[in-house]
Amino acid sequence: MKLSPTDAPKFFGYKPYVILTNSMVPTLPVGSLVIDHAIDEDDPIPENTPITFKAELQGQQVFVTHYFRYIDTSDGYDRYMTQGEGYQEGQYDEFEIHREDIVGTYAFHIPYLGRVAMFLQSPAALTMFLLWGFILMMEHMVKKWLSYKYPEDEEDLMKPKQRVKAKNVKPPKGRYLRGETPRHRPPSAPPLKRPSMDEIKG
């Protein structure tokens, strides 16, 4: 059995379904994504072809993919006889299947991809996507707040700030550069000369 085709989109005459039961194992494993080719009511269907049809099961409409075997006309109308995988000879589905109930023929399937499709429609997937979106939104807000509070680049924030030393700067008259007090002058420095009053006033 599969998802209702009303729950799945149709692309260029093809429609995806998800296998939910093991009636076609091992040909169609449970959880497979099956792609059917949509057909019109006047299109011929070869015998022994897997088809998808509407049926009533426990008061609900379901979609089933089974093998089409032959058309039974013993009751005066065409009844399509179908079988699942592993049925015994002469054993057929009890569904009353007519031509208007058939919605498509099997094209191909992708094993287990249907499980992903089912998960994406589950409440758990919705919760996961909402949580992921909330985390991304919070991350964006925190980065924006930090950019206002600390306008420097992130790399500059991680580096220790270094003191810039002045080079080739001459001290004013009567003063000395840091580290060049009279008691701590380099040996190669010229002898100190006491400034005159005229130099101080000037």
Count: domains in the chain? 2
Question: 57: buried, middle or exposed (CB in 10 Å: 19+, 13-18, 0-12)?
Answer: exposed
In a domain, 43, yes or no: yes
* C-alpha to C-alpha distance for 43 and 51, rounded to whole angstroms: 13
Q: What percent of the chain has pLDDT over 70?
A: 66
Query: Do 35 and 90 lie in a common domain?
Result: yes
Helices (H), the chain: 113-120, 123-149, 154-158, 197-201
Residue 90 sits in a domain whose CATH number is 2.10.109.10
Closest C-alpha among 97, 95, 81, 100 to residue 42: 100
Same domain? 107 vs 29: yes
Pairing relation of β-strands 49-57 and 33-38? unpaired
Do 66 and 116 sit in the same domain of this protein?
yes
| pLDDT above 50: residue 153 | yes
- Three-state secondary-structure class, residue 8: coil
Full domain range(s) for residue 136: 125-154
In a domain, 177, yes or no: no
Assess if residue 166 is contained within a domain. Answer: no
Task: Compare 4 and 98 and report the one with higher pLDDT.
Answer: 98
Residue 130 shares a structural domain with residue 113: no
With contact defined as beta carbons under 8 Å apart, do 106 and 60 qualify?
no
Q: Is 24:106 a contact under the CB 8 Å cutoff?
A: no
Q: pLDDT tens, 84-136?
A: 998 998 999 999 999 999 999 999 999 988 777 776 776 776 788 788 888 88
Please give the DSSP secondary-structure letter assigned to residue 144.
H
The whole-number pLDDT of residue 4 equals 44
Q: Hunting for tokens 């209702």 — which residue is that? A: 4
Which residues sit opposite 2 in a β-bridge? Answer: 63
Answer yes or no: is 174 within a domain: no
| Polymer length of the chain | 202
Q: Cα–Cα distance between 194 and 70 in angstroms, integer?
A: 124
Q: Is residue 81 part of a domain?
A: yes
Residue 46: inside a domain: yes
d(CA 185, CA 20): 92
Residue range 137-152: average pLDDT?
80
